[in-house]
């Protein structure tokens, strides 16, 4: 029997637990952890993510502030806002929603955020700490994937893990976390030869490329655990539908466990952002 990994239910549990810890933090520190979310421009998908983040922050008892900037905001204006948020003691976590409009320099923005407040874990200091196995803020999507994998698999040590995709947001940090957990890790990407046979050797397959239904049944080893990070908005028979990178209908018949889209990785990412905001506040106050 294939397990359908219920990311929504698991995310609800995590947010409930974070809410308890936030309540204890407020009682002991007399401070409410604060998350600042910055959205530049009007990308509809980003606006939906930001709304969901704010809703979850409220459920967790965090203070959240949103900063909606026009799509023609200059680099200087954005730098100034980040500098203000870095200095604001009521803000413990800063998230600038990506992608940014083309005229803004994404790397510059990521590096401008104080590493201690970098709840995305994208700052080079946090990336370096992650890769070298030191304490760091871990990117939310890979963190959520690891929580799900650790629940499905007793011991990750020695498992063959294949990550499809090499983005800074998901693929690279995911591969680092799997390596840290003693998996044998292969990252495959658009230039890889023989992707299908490499994937067929995976005990753990994480798909994070943004190509709807790329992973077919023939790519999957029977019993493998499949984590689908893809969220692709595709028109099917005149209607907009969210599809993963994995062909769920095919693959679910042979996988050991699989995340659905929607309701898998997506809710876990946001739950982990709440956890990271609390973690950042704890570190900043020396808890």
DSSP category for residue 100 = P
Q: Which of 118, 120, 228, 247 is catalytic?
A: 120
CB of 121 to ligand GUN, least distance (A): 9
Q: What are phi and psi of 130, to 5 degrees?
A: -65, -50
Residue 237 tokens read as 């028979």
* Residue 120 interacting with ligand GUN (CB under 6 A): yes
User: Which of 131-168 are b and which e, b meaning 16 or more Cβ less than 10 Å from the residue's Cβ?
Assistant: eeeeebbbbbbbbbbbbbbeebbeebeebbbbbbbbbe
* Residue 169 interacting with ligand GUN (CB under 6 A): yes
Active site residue 53: yes
H helices present in the chain, as ranges:
7-29, 44-59, 75-87, 106-112, 124-131, 140-152, 171-180, 195-199, 248-251, 265-284
Q: Residues 269, 270, 274, 275: what is their CA dihedral angle, to the nearest 10 degrees?
A: -20
How far is the C-alpha of 246 from the C-alpha of 162, rounded, in Å? 14
How far is the C-alpha of 19 from the C-alpha of 12, rounded, in Å? 10
Please identify, using beta-carbon distances, which residue of 5 and 113 lies nearer to ligand GUN: 113
Q: Which of 95, 204, 225, 227 binds ligand GUN (CB under 6 A)?
A: 95
Which positions ≥6 away from 262 have C-beta within 8 Å? 231, 242
CB of 122 to ligand GUN, least distance (A): 7
Matching residue, tokens 């753990």: 204
* Residue 140 interacting with ligand GUN (CB under 6 A): yes
Q: Is 217 helix (H, G, I), strand (E, B) or coil?
A: helix
Stretch that binds ligand GUN, among 71-79, 96-104, 202-210, 237-245 (CB under 6 A): 96-104
Stretch that binds ligand GUN, among 19-27, 94-102, 219-227, 250-258 (CB under 6 A): 94-102
Active site residue 125: no
Please identify, using beta-carbon distances, which residue of 67 and 200 lies nearer to ligand GUN: 67
Please identify, using beta-carbon distances, which residue of 46 and 129 lies nearer to ligand GUN: 46
Please identify, using beta-carbon distances, which residue of 31 and 79 lies nearer to ligand GUN: 79
In the shown chain, the binding pattern of residues 49 to 88 toward ligand GUN, with x for contact by CB under 6 A and - for none, equals ----------------------------------------
CB of 168 to ligand GUN, least distance (A): 10
Stretch that binds ligand GUN, among 76-84, 92-100, 157-165, 245-253 (CB under 6 A): 92-100
Please identify, using beta-carbon distances, which residue of 97 and 252 lies nearer to ligand GUN: 97
Active site residue 203: no
Q: How many CB atoms lie within 10 A of CB 9?
A: 11
How far is the C-alpha of 121 from the C-alpha of 136, rounded, in Å? 7
Residue 28 tokens read as 């002991």
Q: How many residues sit in the footprint of ligand GUN (CB under 6 A)?
A: 8
H/E stretch holding 162 reads strand 160-164
How far is the C-alpha of 50 from the C-alpha of 54, rounded, in Å? 6
* Residue 118 interacting with ligand GUN (CB under 6 A): no
CB of 172 to ligand GUN, least distance (A): 13
Q: Which residues of this chain interact with ligand GUN, rule CB under 6 A?
A: 95-98, 120, 140-141, 169
The catalytic site residues sit at 53, 97, 120
């Amino acid at each position: 029997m294939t397990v359908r990994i219920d990311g929504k239910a698991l995310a609800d549990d995590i947010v409930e637990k974070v809410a308890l810890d936030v309540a204890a933090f407020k009682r002991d520190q007399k401070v409410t952890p604060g998350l600042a979310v910055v959205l530049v421009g009007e990308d509809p998908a980003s606006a939906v993510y930001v709304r969901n983040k704010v809703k979850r922050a409220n459920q967790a008892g965090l203070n959240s502030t949103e900063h909606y900037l026009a799509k023609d905001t200059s680099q200087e204006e954005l730098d100034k806002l980040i500098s203000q948020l870095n200095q604001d003691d009521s803000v413990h976590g800063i998230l600038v929603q990506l992608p940014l409009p083309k005229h803004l320099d994404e790397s510059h923005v990521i590096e401008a955020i104080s590493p201690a407040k970098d709840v995305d874990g994208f700052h080079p200091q946090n990336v370096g700490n992650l890769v070298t196995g030191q304490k760091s803020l871990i990117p939310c999507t890979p963190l959520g994937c690891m929580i799900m994998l650790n629940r499905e698999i007793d011991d990750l040590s020695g498992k063959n893990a294949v990550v499809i995709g090499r983005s800074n947001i998901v693929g690279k940090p995911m591969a680092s976390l799997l390596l840290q957990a003693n998996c044998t890790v292969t990252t495959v990407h658009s230039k890889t030869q023989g992707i299908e046979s490499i994937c067929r050797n995976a005990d753990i397959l994480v798909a994070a490329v943004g190509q709807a239904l790329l992973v077919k049944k023939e790519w999957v080893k029977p019993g493998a655990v499949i984590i689908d990070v893809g969220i692709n908005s595709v028109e099917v028979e005149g209607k907009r539908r969210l599809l993963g990178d994995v062909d769920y209908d095919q693959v679910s018949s042979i996988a050991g466990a699989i995340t659905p889209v929607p309701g898998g990785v997506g809710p876990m990412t946001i739950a982990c952002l709440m956890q990271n905001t609390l973690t950042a506040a704890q570190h900043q106050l020396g808890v």
